[in-house]
Amino acid sequence: MRPLKFLLMKEFRQLFRDKGFIGRLLIAPALQLVLLPLAANYTIKNVNIAIVDHDHSSISKKMVDKIMSSGYFRLAGYSDFNSKANKLIENDKADIVLEIPVNFEKDLIREGGRKIAIEVNAINGVKASVGFGYLSGILTDYNADIRMQWVEPSRTNSLPVIDVIPSFWYNPALTYYIYMVPAILVSLVTTIAGLSAAFNIVKEKEIGTIEQINVTPIKKYQFILGKLIPFLVMGFIVFTVGLLIAWVVYGIIPVGHIALLCLFLEVFLIAILGFGLLISTYCDSQQQANSLMFLFMMVFNMMSGLYTPIDSMPGWAQFITHLFPISYFIDVMRMIVIKGSGLHDILHQIGAVLIIGIVLNTWAALNYRKTT
C-alpha cells in the first residue's frame, strides 16, 4: 500500500498547486447555489395583462381593481378595442388579454351569468399557464364575492358548496428553494466530482505521464484508487460547503440525519466517480472527455427530477431515469432534508445506487485494462 500513499501525496500536491482549484472547489458552488435557485423559481410575477373593457360598469371596474391588486399582474394596456389588445400580444407586450363584453354587468344581474374571454400568449408556456391559473383563481374568488352580495344568505346555505382548505406537508408555504436547493447541490457535487475525475485521468493520458506510470511497479488498482480517493474527498468538501450555504443563505437545516446524508453521498460518489473513470477510458483527450461529459450531464440534469417531476414523464423515460444515480440522490436529498426520512425509507435508493456503482466501476476497470 506504500505506492498508494505516494500517489495520493502527489495527487493532492498537484491539485492544490492548480491555481483555479480552490476557486472551483469553493467559489463556484457558492455562486451557483446562490444564483441557480433564483432561476428555478416558479413563483411568477409581472404577468403583463391587457384589458379590453366594453362594459365600463362598476362591476367590471371592481374586477380590474381586484386583478391589479393581486400583485401578480402588470397592466400592459386598457382599451375598448380588441385590435389594440391583440397588437400588444403580437408585439410581446402582453401575456394575457382579458375581454369584458358589452352589458356584462346587466347580463350578469339579469340572466345570472355572462361569459368573459381570456386570451393567453403561449410562447412562454410556464408563464402562460401560471398566469392563467392566477387570473382564473382571482375571477372565481370575485365571482363568489358577487354571489355573497346579491344572493340572500339563507338561500346560499341550502346550496351545496365544496370548500377546499389545502395544507402542504413538509413545506407549508410551498417555498420553492426548500426543494430546489438540495437538488441543485446534488447536481453540483455530480458535476464537480465526476467531471474532475474524468478530466484528471484523461489529462495523464494526454500528456503521456500514464505511459511513464505504467512502466513502474505501480499496480492498476493503486493508480485508480490514487485518482478516485482525492475526488471522493473533494466531493465531500463541496457537499459540506453546499450544506453550509444552504443553512446560511436559505436557512435550510436538514430535518433528517446528516450522517445518513453522508452515507448516501459516499455510495453516490463511488458510482459517479466510476462513471467519470468509465468516460476517461473511452477518451484520449480532454476535449473528447469534455464533449462526452457535456452530453451526459445535460441529460442527467434535465431528466433527474431537478426541474420537473419524474412522475410526469412517459414510462420509458421514467425507466431511463432509474439508471441515473443522480435522480436517486435528488430524491433522497429531498426526503432527508425536507421530510427527515430515516435509513429504512431510503434503503431502496441506496441499493439501486450501489448496484449502479458496482456495474460502472467494474465496466471501467475492465475497459481500462483492455486499452492500456
Partner 1 sequence: MNAITLSNITKTYNRKTVLAVDDVSFEVGKGEIFGLIGPDGAGKSTLFRLLTTLLIADKGTATVAGHDVVKDFKEIRGLVGYMPGRFSLYQDLTVEENLNFFATVFNTTIKENYELIKDIYVQLEPFKNRRAGKLSGGMKQKLALCCALVHKPEVLFLDEPTTGVDVVSRKEFWEMLHRLKLLGITILVSTSYMDEATRCDRIGLILGGRLLSINTPEDTIKAYPEKLYAAKSDGIYALLKDLRSFEGILSCYAFGEFLHVSLKCAEQEALSYIQSKGHTHVEFKQITPTVEDCFIRLLNQKNEGNGHKDE
By the rule CB under 8 A, 10 interacts with partner 1: yes
**Biggest distance spanned by C-alpha atoms of the chain:** 96
Which of the residues 343 through 372 are near partner 1 (CB under 8 A)?
A: 372
Specify the pairing of strand 96-100 against strand 117-120: antiparallel
Residues contacting residue 194 through CB under 8 Å, at least 6 positions apart: 272, 273, 275, 276, 293, 297
Q: Pick between residue 205 and residue 334 the one whose CB is nearest to partner 1.
A: 205
> Grid cell 425536507 — which residue?
338
By the rule CB under 8 A, 285 interacts with partner 1: no
- The site that binds partner 1 (CB under 8 A) totals a number of residues, namely 21
Indicate the Cα dihedral angle 294, 331, 351, 241, nearest 10°.
70
Q: Pick between residue 157 and residue 216 the one whose CB is nearest to partner 1.
A: 216
Which sign, positive or negative, has the C-alpha torsion 143, 146, 151, 156? positive
Q: How far is the CB of 317 from partner 1 (least distance, A)?
A: 38
Q: How far is the CB of 22 from partner 1 (least distance, A)?
A: 15
By the rule CB under 8 A, 208 interacts with partner 1: yes
Give burial (CB, 10 Å; 0-12/13-18/19+) of 344. Answer: exposed
By the rule CB under 8 A, 211 interacts with partner 1: yes
Exposed e or buried b per residue across 191-215, where buried means at least 16 C-beta atoms within 10 angstroms of its C-beta: bbbbbbbbbbbbbbbbeeeeeebee
Question: Which triple of cell numbers denotes residue 213?
Answer: 506510470
By the rule CB under 8 A, 229 interacts with partner 1: no
Among residues 46, 124, 143, 212, the one that binds partner 1 under rule CB under 8 A: 212
| CA–CA separation, 226 and 92 (whole Å) | 56
Q: How far is the CB of 27 from partner 1 (least distance, A)?
A: 21
Question: Which triple of cell numbers denotes residue 257?
Answer: 440525519
CB under 8 A: which stretch of 65-73, 142-150, 201-209, 336-344 binds partner 1? 201-209
- Report the amino acid identity of residue 250: Y
Q: Pick between residue 16 and residue 170 the one whose CB is nearest to partner 1.
A: 16
Among residues 41, 103, 136, 209, the one that binds partner 1 under rule CB under 8 A: 209
Which of the residues 14 through 73 are near partner 1 (CB under 8 A)?
A: 14, 17-18
CB under 8 A: which stretch of 2-10, 74-82, 107-115, 148-156 binds partner 1? 2-10
- Interacting residue ranges for partner 1, rule: CB under 8 A: 2-3, 6-7, 10, 13-14, 17-18, 207-209, 211-218, 372
